[in-house]
């Protein structure tokens, strides 16, 4: 299972929220690029970045911050948050982003998904479904979509979408365990490639998710558990390089800021 560290950007800083609540924000680093360097030195194979400001406003507020990360790293970067136009998709892909995650627009403007799939491969266009009690929420998790999570997935599947990033909002940032049952039920009904997200707390959660591979759950995004050092970080990676966790001396990371060819 592919493990993908998450970087959420708000006001230009690397932060984590609790259940998507903007009033429960914790800042980890002032520069998200520095955080990306740390995860790459941990031998991460991919990064997941969310522009939280864009999720609320629909404006690409942190575009330049994301560009810096993409230019710095030698691994694929997946970006979501406020991507609601074909131009936004193009701008991200043009700077080298590997995948864009369309969330709210999949509900409010599904034709956008159909439109961009005419120009880009399904591997470049994925849909994010952030659900609470099985109901997708949109616009920074501030509004309900009024449909079931699997219903939205099946609509996207008909358009040619192959992968869903699925988040159980009730678990996100809580460090109380992955939403295993919600993810399982969703994957059973959607029958698509699924990247799980929200609530991963320890290795036990990864073992549980691994049992869902036959349903298409092949990857997982991890946020707060990494930032709070709930894992012996380097041991998660194949051929890992001993060195840095977020609570270690950050100056070490800055001195070795260029990722090597350690895949």
Query: How far is residue 50's CA from residue 58's CA, in Å, rounded to a whole number?
Result: 12
Q: Which residues of 95-122 are buried (b: 16+ CB within 10 A; e: fewer)?
A: bebbbbbbbbbbbeebebbeebbeebee
Q: What does each C-alpha distance from 24 to 5, 78, 170, 178, 232 come to in angstroms?
A: 20, 24, 14, 20, 26
Compute the distance between CA of residue 263 and CA of residue 261 in angstroms, rounded to an integer: 6
> Coil, helix or strand for 97?
coil
User: Can you tell me which residue has the tokens 């890992």?
Assistant: 240
CA distances from 17 to 58, 102, 173, 212 (A): 19, 20, 6, 27
* Selected catalytic residue, list 8, 53, 168, 205: 8
CA angle, 83 as apex, 165 and 210 as ends, to 5°? 10
Q: Is 94 a catalytic residue?
A: no
Interaxial angle between packed helices 149-159 and 110-117, expressed in degrees from 0 to 180 and rounded to the nearest 10: 30
Q: If DSSP codes are grouped into helix, strand and coil, which group holds residue 44? A: coil
Contact 139, 131 (CB under 8 A): no
Contact 125, 99 (CB under 8 A): yes
Residue 130 falls in the annotated catalytic set: yes
What b/e sequence results for 38-52 when a residue is b if at least 16 CB atoms lie within 10 Å of its CB, and e otherwise? bbbbbbbbbbbbbbb
Q: Which of 53, 130, 149, 168 is catalytic?
A: 130
Catalytic residues: 8, 130
């Amino acid at each position: 299972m592919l493990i993908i560290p998450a970087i959420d950007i708000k006001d230009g800083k690397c932060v984590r929220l609790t259940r998507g609540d903007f009033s429960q924000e914790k800042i980890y680093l002032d520069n998200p690029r520095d955080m990306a360097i740390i995860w790459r030195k941990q031998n991460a194979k991919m990064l997941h970045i969310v522009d939280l400001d864009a999720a609320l406003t629909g404006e690409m507020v942190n575009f330049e911050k994301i560009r810096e990360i993409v230019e710095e790293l030698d691994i694929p970067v997946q970006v979501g948050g406020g991507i609601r136009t074909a131009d936004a998709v193009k701008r991200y892909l043009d700077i080298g982003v590997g995948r864009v995650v369309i969330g709210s627009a999949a509900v409010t403007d599904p034709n956008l998904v159909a439109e961009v799939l005419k120009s880009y491969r399904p591997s470049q266009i994925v849909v994010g479904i952030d659900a609470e009690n099985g109901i997708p929420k949109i616009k920074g998790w501030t509004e309900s979509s009024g449909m079931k999570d699997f219903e939205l997935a099946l609509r996207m599947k008909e358009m040619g979408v192959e992968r869903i990033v699925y988040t159980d909002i009730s678990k996100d940032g809580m460090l109380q365990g992955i939403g295993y049952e919600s993810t399982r039920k969703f994957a059973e009904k959607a029958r698509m490639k699924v990247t799980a997200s929200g609530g991963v707390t320890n290795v036990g959660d990864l073992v549980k998710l691994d049992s869902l591979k036959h349903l298409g759950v092949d990857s997982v995004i991890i946020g707060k558990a990494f930032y709070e050092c709930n894992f012996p970080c380097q041991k998660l990676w194949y051929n890992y390089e001993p060195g840095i966790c977020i609570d270690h001396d950050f100056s070490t990371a800055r001195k070795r800021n260029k990722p090597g060819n350690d895949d």
